[in-house]
Structure 1
Amino acid sequence: MSLDSEVMQTIAQNWVIWFVTIVLVVAAVIDGKQLRVPNWLTYPMVISGWIYGVAFSPYAGWEGLGYSLVGTIVGLAVLLPAYAIGGMGAGDVKLMAGVGAWLAAFGAWQGVGDTFFAFCVSAVVGGVIAVGMVLWTKTWSKHFGQFFSIWQEIISIRNPETLATIAAERKSTMFLLPYGIPMAIGTIAYFAWMGMLL
């Protein structure tokens, strides 16, 4: 078997990973342009992940749906705290839920773990990009002060609804990071590191 045919066979076996990769790239491009990840992309991704889990995954049936739902919950859970206090858009949260729905339906508990670790890598990438953006715009002192202000609010207020309102008021004064971009970079980097793409 030639190297080309081996690569094609691996891609065919891992088509779910490639599908998730393509959706993440599309989401990153849209988020970069519009500062939002649209529902027409996120909802179908989540729902199709459930359908794949029930009908077509290696664990097809209730087991596949169960894994997909657990992956969805993990995808939601890792970003929901940031969303609850206004630090992230709902589209980003739903996108990560879609990633979890597909990865868990495809890989069972390994897929659930992959969802969590993809989030971890994405968070690191997001942090690096955020620091880079602050350095590039030379607004270090402004954002450093806002970071400590936000941290103090989280500790002292502890009410997600109030924190979200404060964050919404502050949003117009901040240089926003379209989180779909670090999510795509981090998740795809994780896929590549783990050998899931080829």
Structure 2
Amino acid sequence: MPTKTIALVGWHLKPPVSVLPLRPKFAELTPMFDTAQLADAFVANWPVWFVTVTLIVAAVIDGMQLRVPNWITFPMIASGWVWSATLSPYAGWEGLVYSLIGTAVGLALLLPAYAIGGMGAGDVKLMAGIGAWVWGTVTAYAFAVSAVVGGIIAIGMVLTNKRWDKHHNQFWMILNEITAIKNPEQLAEIAAERKPRMMLLPYGIPIAIGSIAYFAWAGMLV
């Protein structure tokens, strides 16, 4: 039985009619970010932005030099006191008291770790500077987030270093020293002697990441 060959030449399907609305003209598109609104938010929240920029600078320096210099921390603390007493919503003695309390909270949160040699003085003063500007409650929350961030970074450093047994033993050794010796000065001396052999975490980095993350989550930046 003969077969027939059917050639389909120039066969094109007609494109279906779109059920979606046509793309609006460029001029009619709603901008993703309202620059005027962002500018107003920046002006309204400039103290938090000042702290944010200062934290970023401190974190970069700490990451490079393993220290947060005094030329960052002392002016940060002093300017926080001045702003709180003169320009804050509670300007006057009330604002200054809030700022001093925030400074004390920042110091108290990291001072125990510093006393036993587990924290640099610059990190403690950096936390105090945060307290001077955003006061006690926000500082406590920022510290909590920073502690979580620091733990995550530390675990990542240990896993990257691939010497889990060494760091595991060091952790328990330090914990046993803290519970057994209970003398801050002696613990600080032991920590200083052990420091060259330790893998160090520049704590200004988790302080910056954790604090800025909390500022953003709490709506303090925009």
- Same fold, TM exceeding 0.5? yes
Q: Which runs of 5+ in 1 are unaligned?
A: 105-111
In structure 2, the residue matched to 1:51 is 82
Q: Partners of 2:54 and 2:182 in 1: how far apart?
A: 35
Q: What is the 5 A alignment of 1:124-143?
A: 124-143=148-167
Give per-residue Cα distances to partners, 1:96-134, cap 9 Å, x unaligned: 000000002xxxxxxx21100000000000000001001
Specify which structure has the higher proportion of helix. 1
Q: CA deviation at 1:155?
A: 0.4
Q: Partners of 1:47 and 1:151 in 2: how far apart?
A: 36
Q: Partners of 1:113 and 1:135 in 2: how far apart?
A: 34
Where relative contact order (Cα < 8 A, 6+ residues apart) is larger, the structure is 1
Structure 2 letter corresponding to 1:15: W
In structure 2, the residue matched to 1:107 is none
Give per-residue Cα distances to partners, 1:49-84, cap 9 Å, x unaligned: 111111111111111110000000000000001101
User: Of 192, 195, 201, which aligns to 1:177?
Assistant: 201
Counterpart check, 1:29 vs 2:53: no
Q: Partners of 2:70 and 2:34 in 1: how far apart?
A: 40
RMSD of aligned alpha carbons: 0.9
Q: Partners of 1:172 and 1:4 in 2: how far apart?
A: 49
Q: Partners of 1:118 and 1:79 in 2: how far apart?
A: 12
In structure 2, the residue matched to 1:17 is 48
Q: Which has the larger radius of gyration?
A: 2
Q: Partners of 2:148 and 2:118 in 1: how far apart?
A: 16
Q: CA deviation at 1:197?
A: 1.0
- Secondary structure of the residue aligned to 1:36 is coil
User: Of 101, 117, 121, which aligns to 1:90?
Assistant: 121
Q: Partners of 1:175 and 1:122 in 2: how far apart?
A: 19
Q: CA deviation at 1:21?
A: 0.2
In structure 2, the residue matched to 1:64 is 95
Counterpart check, 1:79 vs 2:110: yes
Q: Which contiguous aligned blocks of 4+ residues in structure 1 show a shift greater than 6 angstroms?
A: none
Q: Partners of 2:87 and 2:78 in 1: how far apart?
A: 13
Give per-residue Cα distances to partners, 1:31-61, cap 9 Å, x unaligned: 0000000001100000111111111111111
- Secondary structure of the residue aligned to 1:92 is helix
Percent identical pairs in the alignment equals 66
Q: Partners of 2:51 and 2:154 in 1: how far apart?
A: 24
Q: CA deviation at 1:139?
A: 1.7
